[in-house]
Amino acid sequence: MSLKAFHLIFVTLLTALSFGCAAWAFQTGSLFWGVMGILAGIGVIFYGFYFLKKLKNVSYL
Amino acid sequence: MEIPYTIENRPDTGIYNAKLGIWLFLASEVMLFGGLFSAYVLLRVGAEPGTWPHGWLDVKLGAINTFVLALSAITTLLAWAACKVRQFGKFKFFHACTILLGVTFLCLHGYEYHDELTHYEVHLTNGKIADGHLLDESKDFDLAQKTGSLTLEGRMVEDSRELVDLRAPAAEAAKIQEITVPASEISQMGNYGPSHNTFTAIYFTITGLHGLHVLGGTLMILYLWGPGSRMWKTDPERFTNRIEVSGLFWHFVDLVWIFLFPVLYLT
């Protein structure tokens, strides 16, 4: 597995963590940090597409 | 003698040797951290109800550290991508960022450790407990001789169970004040170090081991950024593979933190 594939796994888990943190923040009553978590999650998704486009010629192996 | 398969893929594995080596190493690392995570889960599940600490760690500091490590994973990838397209200047820039971010993570973690180690739980002879950060200690303070005094910034509680859940409304509403305690009134005291309780023991063990990995990774990347980068002039393909291998290790370290942060800070 290349760094590209590992980075994709990393980005996926980071997205899950961002949305998970947002849910945690909403549950504890922190609206600001909840919104920040959602924005971070969306940002990471956009970054994921950006890096896949940048490394489209690099193998997953 | 030439080392085989440093650049071209080995026919039977389909990858170059260093990549196979790092994945075998990371497999052993998964078992190491997996064992510690299992220990954490079993300790937590086995704890008496109402005794497992909540809210002892600074979530904002943990979130900043998560951001720092996530950013460093991105700069590592960009450094490798720069090598792939033969842009050595960009590689130098992105890897310098990775090193700085690694050092930042270690500094923030050091600050957090300092915060834990200067936090004291002081049991008084009247049965009450003074809990807080050590502000000052008189010059003649000696617990064994019962001389002098110490000053904490924290709160006074009747029962140690009040210190377990710091997210509870009563704990959040507690008034933080300066408390001066004469040594003659102290029955026992200890900081929030690894020996404080099961939570701090597993917290220091896992985060300490992870911190050592960050330190090792930072030193490795520093070498590749500095003296190790001379290989770029003689064998850029092989150097690019080295950057990929170091990036795989760094991503693993980041991935461990992605699991550690919610488990230790949010639960």
pLDDT tens readout for residues B39-95:
999 999 999 998 999 999 999 999 999 999 999 999 999 999 999 999 999 999 999
Rounded to whole angstroms, how far apart are CA atoms B204 and B211?
A: 10
Q: Does pLDDT of A61 surpass 90?
A: no
What pLDDT, on the 0 to 100 scale, is given for residue B175?
85
Across the range A3-19, mean pLDDT stands at: 96
Q: Is B188 helix (H, G, I), strand (E, B) or coil?
A: strand
What pLDDT, on the 0 to 100 scale, is given for residue B171?
83
Query: Of B15, B251, B254, which is closest to A61 when you measure between CB atoms?
Result: B15
Please check whether residue A39 lies inside any domain of the structure. Answer: yes
Q: Which CATH class is domain B119-191?
A: mainly beta
Chains A–B, number of C-beta pairs less than 8 Å apart: 49
Asked if the C-beta of A58 comes within 8 angstroms of chain B's C-beta atoms, the answer is: yes
Q: Does pLDDT of A13 surpass 90?
A: yes
What pLDDT, on the 0 to 100 scale, is given for residue B213?
98
Question: Residue B127's pLDDT band (boundaries 50, 70, 90)?
Answer: very high
Check CB contact under 8 Å for B251 and A7. Answer: yes
Is residue A20 within 8 Å of residue B265, measured between CB atoms?
no
The vertex-B214 CA angle with B209 and B219, nearest 5°, equals: 125
What pLDDT, on the 0 to 100 scale, is given for residue B92?
97
Residues of A whose CB is below 8 A from B63: 21
Across the range A2-26, mean pLDDT stands at: 96
Residues of A whose CB is below 8 A from B73: 7, 10
Question: Residue A40's pLDDT band (boundaries 50, 70, 90)?
Answer: very high
What pLDDT, on the 0 to 100 scale, is given for residue B11?
92
Domains B17-116+196-266 and B119-191 share a fold: no
Residues of A whose CB is below 8 A from B15: 61
Across the range B257-261, mean pLDDT stands at: 96
Question: Residue A59's pLDDT band (boundaries 50, 70, 90)?
Answer: confident
What percentage of chain B has pLDDT greater than the value 70?
Answer: 100
Across the range B203-229, mean pLDDT stands at: 97
Please check whether residue A44 lies inside any domain of the structure. Answer: yes
What percentage of chain B has pLDDT greater than the value 90?
Answer: 90
Interface of B with A (CB under 8 A): 14-15, 19, 23, 63, 66, 70, 73-74, 76-77, 80-81, 84, 167, 244, 247-248, 251-252, 254-255, 258, 261-262, 266
Query: Of B14, B66, B261, which is closest to A61 when you measure between CB atoms?
Result: B14
Check CB contact under 8 Å for A10 and B73. Answer: yes
Q: Does pLDDT of B214 surpass 90?
A: yes
Amino acid at B248: L
Residue-wise pLDDT for B158-201, tens only, equals 988 889 988 888 888 888 999 999 999 999 999 999 999 999 99
Total domains in chain A come to 1
Query: Of A2, A21, A54, which is closest to B244 when you measure between CB atoms?
Result: A2
Check CB contact under 8 Å for B251 and A54. Answer: no
Output the average pLDDT for chain B. 94
Q: Does pLDDT of B116 surpass 90?
A: yes
Check CB contact under 8 Å for A58 and B84. Answer: yes
Please check whether residue A38 lies inside any domain of the structure. Answer: yes
Question: Residue B1's pLDDT band (boundaries 50, 70, 90)?
Answer: confident
Long-range contacts of the stretch B103-108 (C-beta < 8 A, 24+):
B103/B218, B104/B68, B105/B65, B105/B68, B105/B69, B105/B72, B105/B214, B106/B211, B106/B214, B106/B215, B106/B218, B108/B61, B108/B64, B108/B65, B108/B68
Across the range A10-34, mean pLDDT stands at: 95
Structural domain spans, chain B: 17-116+196-266, 119-191
CATH number for the segment(s) B17-116+196-266: 1.20.120.80
Cα B236 to chain centroid distance, Å, stands at 34
Give the residues across from B121 on adjacent strands.
B131, B190
Asked if the C-beta of A45 comes within 8 angstroms of chain B's C-beta atoms, the answer is: no
Structural domain of A8? 3-54
- Name the H helices within chain B: 17-46, 59-84, 88-117, 169-173, 198-225, 231-234, 236-261
Please check whether residue A59 lies inside any domain of the structure. Answer: no
Is residue B243 within 8 Å of residue B83, measured between CB atoms?
yes
